[in-house]
Amino acid sequence: MSNGLEARLVELGVTLPDAPAPAANYVPFVQIGDIVYVSGQISNGPDGLITGKLGDDMSTEQGADAAKSCAISLLAQVKAACGGDLNRLVRAVKLTGFVNSTADYTDQPKVINGASDFLVAAMGDAGRHSRSAVSAASLPLGVAVEIEGIFQIK
């Protein structure tokens, strides 16, 4: 993957933002050996927070875009964990996605596909990961999606 990931991000039209700072008393990531655990990243885009409730005022496609924004922030955190060198990223291991949705909404996996599809587009097979996609009655600041991730680095 090496320089390929940075080049692929450019091809995809994605510029990684600075790694978001934690909003409370926690750290944005913890590294243990070659594994980096990244705290939940909330849906945030160029115009600010991406808020809404799936099954109410937000479509599944809009939710998938929100999930992609979370994946971009996850990669920004991994880049920070690697001292700015994405060449150290080996693979995505696991995502846990939380979707702000109504009680009767059942397409949480389609929403989190926005993150999963982006990681595979950017990283190829190294972006394939295990995953959970669950509903939440609400999320911090009213955001649509929050995703945490586990990554392997070298």
pLDDT tens for the chain, residues 1 to 154: 446 899 999 999 999 999 988 889 999 999 999 999 999 999 999 999 999 999 999 999 999 999 999 999 999 999 999 999 999 999 999 999 999 999 999 999 999 999 999 999 999 999 999 999 999 999 999 999 999 999 999 9
d(CA 27, CA 8): 28
Domains of the chain (ranges; CATH) run 2-153 (3.30.1330.40)
d(CA 84, CA 132): 28
Residue 58 β-bridge partners: 54
Task: Tokens 């933002």: give the residue.
Answer: 17
